[in-house]
Amino acid sequence: MNCMAVRWADDIIVIDAGLMFPEAELLGVDIVVPDISYLLENRERVRGIILTHGHEDHIGALPSVLTDLNVPVYGTEFTLAYVENKLEEHGLLDNADLIEIEPGKRFTVGPFTVNPIRVTHSLVDCVAFAIHTPIGVIIHTGDFKVDPTPTDNRLFDLHAFAEYGKEGVLALFQDSTNVERPGYTPSERAVRRKFEEVFSMTERRLFISCFSSSIHRIKLAVDMAFEYGRKVALVGRSMTESTEIAQDLGYIDIPDGTLIHPGDIKKYAPEKVCVMISGTQGEPMSGLSRAAVDNHKHAKIEKGDTVVLSSRIIPGNEKAIYRMVDHLFRREAHVIYDDGSNPPVHVSGHASQEELKLIINLVKPQYFIPIHGEYRQLKRHAELAKGMHGAVGSVMMIESGDILEFDELGARKAGRVNVGRVCIDSNSMGDVVEELIIRDRRHLSEDGIVLPIIAINKLTGRVEGPPEIVTRGFAAVGENGFMNDARNVVVNTLEVSSDEEKRDYGVIKEKIRQDLKRYIVKNTSRRPLIMPVILEI
Ligand SMILES: [Zn+2]
Ligand SMILES: [Zn+2]
């Protein structure tokens, strides 16, 4: 979840605080944020959080983290604009201490002098950090690719990396996301060729969907819509907000008269409109998903319209995305998505092998540490660096929770701190979901629920009539005599229990649950959620 602490004696700074969207097995959990108990144990030592850029996997945990630990947050202008929106939503903005930083302008936090270095990525205003510590400089790349032609013309500061390399760098922590890809990641501008093809071929309405944070992509689409005489409508809250921020900060310039309200789309001829719409991942409530099933007030997709999905297909979302694409095909729209063809409709924001090697070559660190990736990616990144004799001293593999200790003698792993995930429901930071609840949800979804219902006479304390068993989603129901036997298990439990146990509903419920569970597991190998219910009559 991209949260790294750098500590010197009694001072700690934190680099990024991201969230993760949960895998399917975390049922019904909306977001996952890092467990920051190490920082809370050291709360009086934490001097601030420094942010590399504004993607969710780097800033998404801020509302939760600042709720528990309100420390200053440092970020570039654009990154802080995203952070402000986010904190505002959670009512945390008034008490937040946000400090704007600029690439190339050093600042100090505790004993550290921090130099933000401009890098290029799929988002704008991104930085790496060179952190000057009493025993040397460490560099954290953040997310990056080496894009020689970014759409905002703000160039990757290769010079800064080279200069640090000349002076000597203790450690380099580098983004591993695309280590499996050979060669170079194409520039954001590579998408322009595809967009030109699309704009010149499209005879009717054009819908373009991308991540709302893909500022380069939105700029490209808006620029081309203007060139091709199309009005632009923004559909979706995140798309609108993000474009507004980019306009305010000068990253996107929409000529007067180009932007129209979504309600006015129908007033223009189909060949005169370009709709920027959110929902590239087939999220069920997104603008594009609703338009795909003709359930959007303003965005109507008709026969002959063109829909462009300018983003990658995030693993795990394939089904939702292709279901949406099918709906679009059913409406007889042309759909253009990332199918590997050239020119590309989407390019990655992360460095491929040759770019990773380039930075390692410039920096020539004593220690190299791969970060931001799954274990296999970290491992391959470590191997790539090991192969660069002369450019790298030693390579260290660390995982979440590992402590890497540096001193005059070098670096070594020095134990672990508690880390983990905190699951949050419905995006409100208060709704932390315990592992236990997730386990219950898993039982429910896989094996269903079994409710033994026992009627007890309130006055006499006696069990009235035979127990009932209600089930939902539990597969063994139909099997011969199974329900009868299950009922007998409950009857038997009640018979062997004392009156005292029967009067204590907590005890008798637990006894019934245990006995029934043993019976069901033994006979069906299933583990439904068993919830005894006592009816007082
Ligand atoms: Zn990123
Ligand atoms: Zn990232």
CA of 415 to the centre of ligand 1 (A): 29
Ligand nearest to the CA of 20: 2
In the chain, pLDDT over 90 holds for what percent of residues? 72
Q: Which ligand is in closest contact with the Cα of 127?
A: 1
pLDDT per residue as tens digits for the range 430-440: 567 777 777 77
- CA 507 – ligand 1 centroid, Å: 52
Encoded tokens for 204: 């009717």
Q: Is the pLDDT of residue 464 over 70?
A: yes
DSSP state letter for 185: P
Assess whether 132 carries a catalytic annotation: no
How far, in Å, is the centroid of ligand 2 from the Cα of 53?
9
For residue 38, the CA-to-ligand 1 centroid distance in Å is 25
Q: Which amino acid, residue 499?
A: D
Distance 294 CA to ligand 1 centre (A): 33
- Rounded to the nearest angstrom, the distance between the alpha carbon of 236 and the centre of ligand 1 is 21
Residue 340 pLDDT class (50, 70, 90 cuts) = confident
Give the mean pLDDT of 201-224: 96
User: Which listed residue (175, 223, 305, 515) is catalytic?
Assistant: 175
Find the 92 Cα to ligand 1 centroid distance in Å: 24
What is the number of alpha carbons within 13 Å of residue 375 lying toward its C-beta?
2
Max CA distance (Å), the chain: 88
Average pLDDT, the chain: 92
pLDDT at 426 (0 to 100): 58
Cα 52 to chain centroid distance, Å, stands at: 15
Q: What is the mean pLDDT of residues 481-491?
A: 87
Of all ligands present, the nearest one to the C-alpha of 177 is 2
C-alpha to C-alpha distance for 68 and 51, rounded to whole angstroms: 18
| Residue 473: per-residue pLDDT | 81
pLDDT at residue 212 greater than cutoff 80: yes
Residues 62/450, Cβ–Cβ less than 8 Å: no
Looking at all shown ligands, the one closest to residue 15's CA atom is 2
Q: What are phi and psi of 177, to 5 degrees?
A: -45, -50
**206-220, 259-273, 503-517 — which is least confidently predicted?**
503-517
* Per-residue pLDDT reduced to its tens digit, 99-109: 999 999 999 99
Cβ atoms < 10 Å from Cβ of 28: 14
* Ligand number, closest to the Cα atom of 349: 1
448 Cβ contact list (under 8 Å, min separation 6): 471, 472, 473, 474, 475, 526, 528, 529
Compute the distance from residue 55 Cα to the ligand 1 centre, in Å: 5
Query: How far is 80 from 98, CA to CA, in rounded Å?
Result: 7
The rounded percent of the chain whose pLDDT value lies above 70 is: 96
Judge whether 264 counts as a catalytic residue: no
Residue 357 CA to ligand 2 centre (angstroms): 19
Distance CA 421, CA 401 (A): 11
Ion ligand 2: residues, Cβ under 5 Å: 57, 143
- CA 528 centroid distance within chain: 31
Given the residues 55, 350, 372, 381, the one annotated as active site: 350
- In this model, does residue 428 exceed pLDDT 80? no
Please state the rounded mean pLDDT for residues 404-429: 85
Helix (H), strand (E), coil (C) string for 93-151: CCCCCEEECCCCCCEEECCEEEEEEEEECCCCCEEEEEEEECCEEEEECCCCECCCCCC
| Residue 116 in this model has a pLDDT that exceeds 90 | yes
Taking the CA of 19 as reference, the closest ligand is: 2
Q: What is the pTM of this model?
A: 0.83
CA of 347 to the centre of ligand 1 (A): 13
User: Residue 427's pLDDT is what?
Assistant: 55
Distance 120 CA to ligand 1 centre (A): 10
Q: What integer pLDDT is reported at residue 163 of this predicted model?
A: 98
Ligand nearest to the CA of 213: 1
Distance 34 CA to ligand 2 centre (A): 14
